[in-house]
Amino acid sequence: MTDIASDIQRLLEHKANGAYGLSGVNQQQHALQAAWLAEREGHPEALVVAALLHDIGHMVHHLGENPAERGIDDRHEEVGQAFLAAHFGPEVTEPVRLHVAAKRYLCAKEADYFAKLAPDSVRSLELQGGPMSAEEVAAFEALPQCAEAVQLRRYDEQAKVKGLETPPVAHFMPAVRRCLRG
């Protein structure tokens, strides 16, 4: 039997060194920065783990390094949620699944949010459906993990700082293990 926590650690340490869109950080640095932001702000471990794993779908799909550049929505949020669902509860998997929808939501709800997006997020937003309609906003706000997904999205945008020192992957692995379903 495979140990999913060890598999996750291997993915983050050995497969997350590819470029992260157009930012100056790689996927591992992006994941660590997002998790560190959540941890520093005192969020529950489930949100810290969701922040760490929110882009794991990029590491487990087989579409190459930057499908958005080729006009392909890799649906990494759904791929990631499917990868994690057998091992984590919705407090981890739903923010992962909803972090792209949260970008669309924030673009619809906050007039200045779009201007905060990195160029690669702007490109992927178009592939992901653009800002939400009023009906989509209402449906999103009714979801149980809406607030967590929005917070995760804010960390996603902030977690692109070249050279920012963060704890290593191993630092977050005890939280990953505690969040696993029994």
Q: Tell me: the pLDDT tens digits for 49-78? A: 999 999 888 877 554 565 555 554 566 778
Q: Is pLDDT of 155 > 70?
A: yes
Q: Is pLDDT of 139 > 90?
A: yes
Backbone angles phi, psi at 88, to 5 degrees: -130, 155
- Computed over every residue of the chain, the mean pLDDT equals 87
Range of the domain at 162: 4-179
Is 0.85 surpassed by the pTM of this model?
yes
The tally of domains found in the chain comes to 1
Three-state DSSP at 88 gives: strand
Res 62: pLDDT: 56
- CATH classification at residue 49: 1.10.3210.10
Res 1: pLDDT: 35
